[in-house]
Amino acid sequence: MVILIVDDSRDEQELLSTWLRASGYGSLMVADSAEAAFEILGRDNAGQRRGAVDLILMDIMLPGVDGLEACRWITATEWLQDIPIIVVTAKTDEKDLLAAFAAGAMDYIRKPVNPAELVARVSSALTLKEERTARKAREQELLMRTQELERALREVKVLRGLIPICAKCKRVRTDRGNWQRLEEYIQDHSEAEFSHGVCQVCMKEVYPDVFKD
C-alpha cells in the first residue's frame, strides 16, 4: 500500500513518515505542495497515473493551491476518486472540518498528530480501500458475465410459431415470401447442424434391386 503525504513542512513529513514506517507502512511518497502531489498522481498524463497511490494524507494549509482545493480536484477526477483522503490539519473549527468533508476527505487528523490515532485512522482507511477495490472487482466481473450471457442469449435462435411448409417439396416460406429448403431454414433459425444419410424408405426407392420384398 502506497501512502502519499502532502505537507509543506519537512519536519511534519519526516514525523509522519517515521511513525508510519514504525507501524509497517514502508511505501511512502511525499509532496510539499498540491502541485507536487498532482505531479505524482499524474495530473498531466491524460488519465494515466504515474504512481499508484492508495491513501493521501493531505495538509489543508499549503502554499498555492490549498488542501481543500486539492481534495476537490482529486475527488472530481474519475481515475483518482477511489483514493481515500485523510485531512491533517491544525484547524479544529466545525466549519473547517465540514469544509474538508465537503471537499471529499473521508477523515481528518488534528495537529499535533497523535501517533496512535494516525496509525488507527490510516489502517481503517486502507482497509476500507481494499474492501472497496474488491467490491468493484466483483461488480466488474458480474457485469462482464451478465454481458456475456446477454450476448449468448442474443445469439441463440429459437423456432417458434406457425411455419408455412409446402406439402409436396417440403420447402418453407420465409418472412420475405421466398421458399427455402427445410434444412437451410432450420439452420438459419436455430443452432442445429445436419449430418446427411439415406433412410430405409428412400433407400428402397433409390435401390429397389437391393431391397426386394
pLDDT of residue 51: 54
Which pLDDT does position 119 carry in this prediction?
96
With beta carbons less than 8 A apart as the criterion, state whether 63 and 87 touch. Answer: no
Instruction: Report CA-CA distances (Å) from 89 to 22, 117, 126, 171, 199.
Output: 22, 13, 20, 82, 88
**Average pLDDT, rounded, for the chain:** 86
What is residue 70's three-state secondary structure?
A: helix
Read off the pLDDT of each residue in 14-36 and give the average, rounded to a whole number.
95
Which residues share a beta bridge with 107? Answer: 86
pLDDT tens-place string over residues 125-142: 999 999 988 998 999 999
Is 80 exceeded by the pLDDT of residue 31? yes
Query: Contacts by 97-103 with C-beta closer than 8 Å and gap 24+?
Result: 99/68, 100/60, 100/67, 100/68, 100/71, 103/68, 103/69, 103/71, 103/72, 103/75
* Residue that the C-alpha cell 409436396 belongs to: 168
Instruction: Give pLDDT, residue 47.
Output: 45
Is 25 in a helix, a strand, or coil? coil
Contacting residues for 37 by C-beta, under 8 A, at least 6 apart: 4, 6, 31, 56, 58, 70
212 falls in which pLDDT band (50, 70, 90)?
low
Backbone angles phi, psi at 60, to 5 degrees: -80, -45
- pLDDT tier, 46 (very low <50, low <70, confident <90, very high otherwise): very low
**Domains, in order of start, for the chain:** 3-148 (3.40.50.2300), 157-208 (no CATH)
Smallest CA-to-CA distance from 202 within 190, 191, 211, 193 is with 211
**51 or 111: which carries more pLDDT confidence?**
111
Nearest Cα residue to 4 out of 108, 61, 83, 104? 83
Instruction: Write out the three cell numbers for 185.
Output: 431454414
Query: Band of the pLDDT at 156, cuts 50, 70, 90?
Result: low
Q: What angle do CA 82, 110, 60 make, to 5 degrees?
A: 60
Rounded CA-CA distance 6/83 in Å is 14
Amino acid at 98: L
